[in-house]
Amino acid sequence: MAIELGKPGVNGLSETVGVLRQWQYDGAPWQLHPGDLGWFWRFGAEATAAAVRT
């Protein structure tokens, strides 16, 4: 299986946050939280999309 790097774009941010929510579990040693994307989102959807890699 190949790994492909991409950017969700402004229209894909909601789906990205939804998938990130599904990955959360209490036993993880560290994890990216949907709120981390929300921190960027305060600067606007364009800034958030520019900061996110999937």
Model confidence, pTM: 0.65
Under the banding of pLDDT at 50, 70 and 90, the label for residue 36 is confident
> Are 34 and 41 a contacting pair, CB within 8 Å?
no
Mapped onto helix, strand or coil, the DSSP state of residue 21 is helix
Question: What confidence tier does 49 reach under pLDDT thresholds 50, 70, 90?
Answer: confident
Per-residue pLDDT at 54 exceeds 80 = no
Measure the CA–CA gap between 4 and 47, rounded to whole angstroms.
22
Residue 1 has pLDDT above 80, yes or no: no
Between CA 46 and CA 13 the distance in angstroms is 10
| Contact present, 8 and 49 (Cβ < 8 Å) | yes
Statement: residue 30 has pLDDT above 80: no
